[in-house]
Structure 1
């Protein structure tokens, strides 16, 4: 059985249903990717790596992970912290805005839990996925140790996957973000950047420029997400533009890239070609953006995949 670990933060999501009531859910970029991978490739072992608290909210997240058939063996309990929190608000035009409370979340302390026994467990898996958000929320004083762990896992043959997923508000400044992102690019085996991230951080505006930027880091497999326009791959010194059929009924793009990442990695773990993996990932992302919220209801998602003839065989 193929297996993959997703390391990062999952927060509690609050969204108003009326003036006096809020709906509670859970979301986070790597968590979302883990969920969509497992739904599309149920035979793949998928683990979520994070730190939570000892409170009931944290337990509900663990229960949710188990409900999505994710392994929780690498979800660690912090004695006096809990989950980060964010609030979604929608204006009269439907535009969404987000307010975050995550500066003291348990996930910021994840490195404290990554002892030798945990590293040994990670070394037995096929892939480990991190994002720019994973890096940003780690305490800066813990990052040197984190990179030592990543270097050890790479030396042991674990495929490291990285999506830069840049969020300016999480970093002390652009220079800090660039340093960490470029460190990740030196180590990763698969990079999953989006053009928008590199436009904001490096003033690059197309997939070809992003690939040229990544070239000196010698990343074997680069998959650039260019919004609804296309996906561009660069593998074995060959660059290929993969046309994506656009979705006409877009409801919420919040988790499009997350779904793409998860399904792409699931396909690659299960010996699909780069082109086929991109096709499957784009199909799944197209389904997700037609549903509200980061995580579409499982039954709705599976029915929508069936309706478009999604096939992983």
Structure 2
């Protein structure tokens, strides 16, 4: 089967205003505008590495929506699956500046956004069939019940065609009615995936297991092919259904600037390497390397490397 696209993903993108001075957002007077969104970050990172990527979403027919579309085109990301919605606006967010390695404060303005109205009606069968891999995130799953339904439909369709799927839980508890609902819904998506990429704390919440191996076994025993767990300062740990397993040491950096986007960078590394036929160990090494690069610069996607830059890592 010939696929014109390597990866397709879907979710919400927002205009992001990053403060240029540290301190409380209330006192910030100057901001830099960027495009932000977990799935968009992954799409951007994969496109910079030379993969053919399509991103599916809805943006408002407003300046923020046009800004996001222009950003996608500059990155070489296919926009055929993006709807310009005349009814609802594009969401935006404010992000504080941190230069001491702490997590920045982010305030979201997304309620009723165009992307929150994603639904199975946005499923373009021909577009999805053109891709050999689907990447899903728990953020898109959380923004609305209709967006979740689209993810569910896309996962089943791609799986039925023998495509590979990856899932990053990206927990957003404040967007769910309850933790129980979040766990149930996200695990249902995770069990459709070939590769599941939780953080250690996320894995504990989703599975009730306390160790990386326990978390991995929870999914492997239910049909997932590989589980790659981000273990923070310890790097990452992986286990596959074929018996491969092991820890991969972290990349030590001199200074952590901004932690937002590190998990998306990790996903870029793992997914790109596995799609290139690399071993699971080498894929996790690449994930660690890109994740480490991401935390050394401000912004969600500034640290995502090009193919040439990847070779120098």
**Normalising by the residue count of structure 1, what TM-score does the alignment of the two structures yield?**
0.88
* 259-268 or 242-251, larger mean C-alpha shift: 242-251
Matched, 1:266 2:260: no
* 214-223 or 155-164, larger mean C-alpha shift: 214-223
Instruction: Indicate the residue corresponding to 1:120 in structure 2.
Output: 126
Instruction: Indicate the residue corresponding to 1:3 in structure 2.
Output: 6
Report the number of matched residues. 302
Contact 2:120 2:146 in 1 (8 A): no
**RMSD of aligned Cα (Å):** 2.4
Matched, 1:27 2:32: no
Q: Take 2:149 and 2:97, find their aligned partners in 1: how far apart are those partners?
A: 39
Q: CA deviation at 1:80?
A: 1.1
Q: CA deviation at 1:15?
A: 2.2
Instruction: Indicate the residue corresponding to 2:106 in structure 1.
Output: 98
* 247-256 or 147-156, larger mean C-alpha shift: 147-156
Contact 1:130 1:162 in 2 (8 A): yes
Matched, 1:61 2:76: no
Any idea what the Cα deviations from partners look like across 1:168-202, whole Å, max 9, x if unmatched?
A: 11111111111111111221111111112234555
Q: 1:109 to 1:226 in 2, by over 3 A?
A: same
The equivalences for 1:90-239 within 5 A come to 90=97, 96-115=104-123, 118-137=124-143, 139-141=144-146, 143-144=148-149, 146-201=151-206, 204-235=209-240, 236-239=242-245
Q: 1:182 to 1:92 in 2, by over 3 A?
A: closer
Instruction: Indicate the residue corresponding to 1:243 in structure 2.
Output: 249
Contact 2:228 2:237 in 1 (8 A): yes
Q: CA deviation at 1:297?
A: 6.6
Matched, 1:305 2:309: yes
Q: CA deviation at 1:67?
A: 0.7
Unaligned runs of 5+ in 2: 22-27
SS at match of 2:39: helix
Unaligned runs of 5+ in 1: none
Q: Take 1:225 and 1:95, find their aligned partners in 2: how far apart are those partners?
A: 17
Q: Take 1:248 and 1:154, find their aligned partners in 2: how far apart are those partners?
A: 42
Q: 1:92 to 1:49 in 2, by over 3 A?
A: closer
Q: Take 2:192 and 2:307, find their aligned partners in 1: how far apart are those partners?
A: 38
**Normalising by the residue count of structure 2, what TM-score does the alignment of the two structures yield?**
0.88
Q: CA deviation at 1:302?
A: 5.1
